[in-house]
Chain A
């Protein structure tokens, strides 16, 4: 009896000890300490996934991008009106067709004290060309260092959207010394020039950043940032409402009204660069016939989807690129719902009695809901659609192999440039793996896209892209559904927060009152 008692007491003590160490290790969730000027010392942000890696070039998922946007800087920044402003690069010049010269700001410090040099840029881009984000830098052939703060970018082909790409978070500059020294562990020990430096990462839970005092634009007023990963949409909104977090990204449509009507909170909504669509595998019958594809386009109830699934948080899509992308064609009418016309087209194509097919989606709750509505819409015109939900890895793999019939996917034109919005999706040479899961090829469209990416004259570029969009909509390799609104919820006490259309929101200068 004594031994049993002893053992049970020992176990109980051990368990309680682990409990208390756990509790005391965790930091408090609301930065309630006073900073200067009556603002909070720490702002807490909730996002829908944990970062995968803080190595800027290792991953371009949302969770990583949001954090990396604070740690790293890009050469240029894109303004709301589409023009570009200097950032790390203080000036640039297109020296010849294939050569651009950039001059860096001098005296910019990395978080480890090293100064930003042209050699860092060369290192960054050369490493980037063999990394996950290589598609962003693919137009670069080589980088030449001219002097300490000047470098030349030698392009493979004339590339008009070069500055758009260089303004995107993923092309930010790394410190050569830090990366080479850290080796494989760099992803957990990032060094950048950004306003915030990395402090701590509790895997699966939160990442803490502290303001970089030597930031070249001046130290940020909010001294600490904490990014919490809360995958459940509703939990994230609840955390915002209870004040556990100050900012929450990607608010689920159902929670928008609650946040809007709450005095202590503000809902920020803005059109995004993303278009969501139902795509067709044009290699498989009956999607080889353009009339079938158009029929489906006419049958889908886009308004219904937007109101039922997005609860109004989106716009009906006409062209396959969002209006926020430059040179999106506003004159395209698209396919307003017309069930009769759909039936007619099907009949013309020889499918009067419809047919059976499948639609694939990944296990994203919004997409599965859309699939169900599309399924119901197509039933009306006699098409029997079976829904197959695959998880993401299978989905990417098998659609790349062309095993699908119809599929639901989205595309974000992260650079805000029409080339980024269309080339990978619609160019004949683009593979399914890269994005052309429609197996679409139209020589005229491909030519227009090639001309568009090389042309530096904006007016001519617009002509090419407008025409390309017209042709694509007519060919209907997809049924563009809607442009979703990006939305974030913030506490009413937060000041200076701006939603970035490329979804990597910079928090430099954002403060939260106590």
Chain B
């Protein structure tokens, strides 16, 4: 009933109830809510990281006498190879992972989205050229790209974000392009053009908002992917510099102590997995909620 009455109002009201619909559907999905809650906890921990554990004194301060201690009352997840508290480092590492995830996805999304929208909208040769370029990018191993960027610009947090971001541009370009292709032939676009809207306005106000659904899903999963990529790059030694507590780097460093102090490698791995899991749950939930075919 609500949907029908709102149709009679202005476009704005209709949009709001649509989003409300989607929101309700997500909340009803138990799995997605589990993911959301876990994610919320992780984000909170990351935001309040400094309150929980001071960076200088706890996270990077070495205490060689206490290296590789197992979990205890003082250090709930134990200490690493330099005697630093693992729990504190994981919390601060969460900041890095989430930051890289979000920023790199935004970067890929914006650049890829624009390219995909332009390609889909204008079509023809332009589309062909852009998509071939995307193919070329896809064919280049992301490690090579990351390595190039890191060696050329140095291995800082920002450059890591750029490296991860660049390698994901093609997937967003593809998705947006596909959406644009399905939408652009619809009647309301013709109508907008008939009224005299210029291309830019049409793309921004009509086409892009309708591509949001698949993009949101991809973005959620993309953050998970970006976190994994960051950890992977750190694992092979191309990531952030010590003493930064990045999860992948902690895993890599703990590799050597697998036999005597397995907790050093295990706990960061668990956190990586849980973060990715919750993002996947949320992404799945969003996908189900946004799927028009599931409208009952």
| Residues of A near any B CB (own CB < 8 A) | 232-234, 252, 254-255, 258, 304, 307-308, 363, 365, 368-369, 371-373, 375-376, 386-391, 394
Residues of chain B from 30 to 67 with CB closer than 8 A to chain A in the complex? 60-62, 64, 67
Indicate whether A255 sits within 8 Å of B259 (C-beta atoms), given known contacts A388-B155, A389-B241. yes
Distance A390 CA – B259 CA, assembled complex (angstroms): 28
Segment at the interface with A among B163-171, B181-189, B250-258 = B250-258
> What's the interface size class on B, roughly?
20 to 34
Cβ proximity bits B204-222 to A, threshold 8 Å, 1 near / 0 not: 0000000000000000000
Distance A254 CA – B242 CA, assembled complex (angstroms): 21
**Does residue B72 face the partner (Cβ distance < 8 Å to A)?**
no
Contact B243 A375 (CB under 8 A): yes
Contact A394 B151 (CB under 8 A): yes
Indicate whether A386 sits within 8 Å of B241 (C-beta atoms), given known contacts A234-B256, A376-B61. yes
Residue from B154, B242, B243, B260 with most neighbouring chain A CB atoms (10 Å): B242
Beyond A307-B64, A375-B243, A391-B151, 17 additional pairs, beta carbon < 8 A: A233-B256, A234-B256, A255-B259, A304-B64, A308-B81, A308-B82, A369-B81, A375-B242, A376-B60, A386-B241, A387-B242, A387-B243, A388-B241, A389-B237, A389-B241, A391-B147, A394-B151
Residues of B within 8 A of A252 (CB): 256
Distance A368 CA – B241 CA, assembled complex (angstroms): 10
Shortest CB-to-CB span from A104 to chain B, Å, is: 47
Distance A369 CA – B243 CA, assembled complex (angstroms): 10
Q: Which of A254, A308, A363, A375 contacts B259 (CB 8 A)?
A: A254
Contact A365 B260 (CB under 8 A): no
Shortest CB-to-CB span from A252 to chain B, Å, is: 6
> Which residue on A lies nearest to B61, using beta carbons?
A376
> Which residue on B lies nearest to A361, using beta carbons?
B242
Shortest CB-to-CB span from A114 to chain B, Å, is: 45
Shortest CB-to-CB span from B136 to chain A, Å, is: 25
Q: Which of A304, A371, A390, A394 contacts B242 (CB 8 A)?
A: A371
> Which residue on B lies nearest to A301, using beta carbons?
B64
Indicate whether A387 sits within 8 Å of B237 (C-beta atoms), given known contacts A233-B256, A308-B64. no
Contact B64 A365 (CB under 8 A): no
Residues of A within 8 A of B258 (CB): 234
Distance A115 CA – B285 CA, assembled complex (angstroms): 77
Contact B241 A387 (CB under 8 A): yes
Residues of A within 8 A of B242 (CB): 368, 371-372, 375, 387, 389
Interface of B is mostly: loop
Shortest CB-to-CB span from B291 to chain A, Å, is: 28
Shortest CB-to-CB span from A145 to chain B, Å, is: 49
Residues of A within 8 A of B81 (CB): 308, 369
Residues of B within 8 A of A304 (CB): 64
Distance A369 CA – B82 CA, assembled complex (angstroms): 9
Distance A389 CA – B151 CA, assembled complex (angstroms): 10
Shortest CB-to-CB span from B59 to chain A, Å, is: 12
Distance A375 CA – B243 CA, assembled complex (angstroms): 9
Residues of A within 8 A of B259 (CB): 234, 254-255, 258
Shortest CB-to-CB span from A18 to chain B, Å, is: 24
Residues of A within 8 A of B255 (CB): 232, 234
Shortest CB-to-CB span from A258 to chain B, Å, is: 7
Contact B64 A373 (CB under 8 A): yes
Shortest CB-to-CB span from A337 to chain B, Å, is: 13
Residues of B within 8 A of A390 (CB): 151
Contact A365 B154 (CB under 8 A): no
Distance A372 CA – B67 CA, assembled complex (angstroms): 14
Residue from A308, A371, A387, A388 with most neighbouring chain B CB atoms (10 Å): A308
Distance A388 CA – B159 CA, assembled complex (angstroms): 14
Distance A233 CA – B81 CA, assembled complex (angstroms): 16
Residues of B within 8 A of A233 (CB): 256
Shortest CB-to-CB span from B238 to chain A, Å, is: 8
Shortest CB-to-CB span from B140 to chain A, Å, is: 18
Distance A313 CA – B16 CA, assembled complex (angstroms): 68
**Contact sample, A vs B, 14 pairs, CB 8 Å cutoff:** A254-B257, A258-B259, A258-B260, A363-B237, A372-B62, A372-B243, A373-B82, A376-B60, A376-B62, A386-B241, A387-B242, A388-B241, A390-B151, A394-B151
Residues of A within 8 A of B64 (CB): 304, 307-308, 373
Distance A377 CA – B180 CA, assembled complex (angstroms): 58
Distance A375 CA – B244 CA, assembled complex (angstroms): 13
Residues of B within 8 A of A389 (CB): 155, 237, 241-242
Residues of B within 8 A of A391 (CB): 147, 151, 237-238
Q: Which of B82, B155, B256 contacts A372 (CB 8 A)?
A: B82
Residues of A within 8 A of B253 (CB): 365, 369
Residues of B within 8 A of A258 (CB): 259-260
Distance A386 CA – B147 CA, assembled complex (angstroms): 20
Residues of A within 8 A of B243 (CB): 372, 375, 387
Distance A460 CA – B53 CA, assembled complex (angstroms): 61
Shortest CB-to-CB span from B254 to chain A, Å, is: 11
> Which residue on B lies nearest to A363, using beta carbons?
B237
Shortest CB-to-CB span from A484 to chain B, Å, is: 16
Distance A363 CA – B256 CA, assembled complex (angstroms): 14
Residues of chain B from 220 to 256 with CB closer than 8 A to chain A in the complex? 237-238, 241-243, 253, 255-256
Residues of A within 8 A of B60 (CB): 376
Pick the 9 closest A-B CB pairs, nearest first.
A363-B237, A308-B64, A376-B62, A372-B242, A387-B241, A304-B64, A387-B242, A394-B151, A254-B256
Indicate whether A308 sits within 8 Å of B241 (C-beta atoms), given known contacts A365-B256, A376-B61. no
> Which residue on A lies nearest to B56, using beta carbons?
A379
Residues of A within 8 A of B237 (CB): 363, 389, 391
Shortest CB-to-CB span from A375 to chain B, Å, is: 7
Residues of B within 8 A of A254 (CB): 256-257, 259-260
Residues of A within 8 A of B151 (CB): 390-391, 394
> Which residue on A lies nearest to B257, using beta carbons?
A254
Distance A233 CA – B82 CA, assembled complex (angstroms): 19
Contact A388 B256 (CB under 8 A): no
Distance A307 CA – B62 CA, assembled complex (angstroms): 14
Residues of A within 8 A of B155 (CB): 388-389
Residues of B within 8 A of A363 (CB): 237
Residues of B within 8 A of A388 (CB): 154-155, 241
Shortest CB-to-CB span from B243 to chain A, Å, is: 6
Residues of chain B from 242 to 296 with CB closer than 8 A to chain A in the complex? 242-243, 253, 255-260
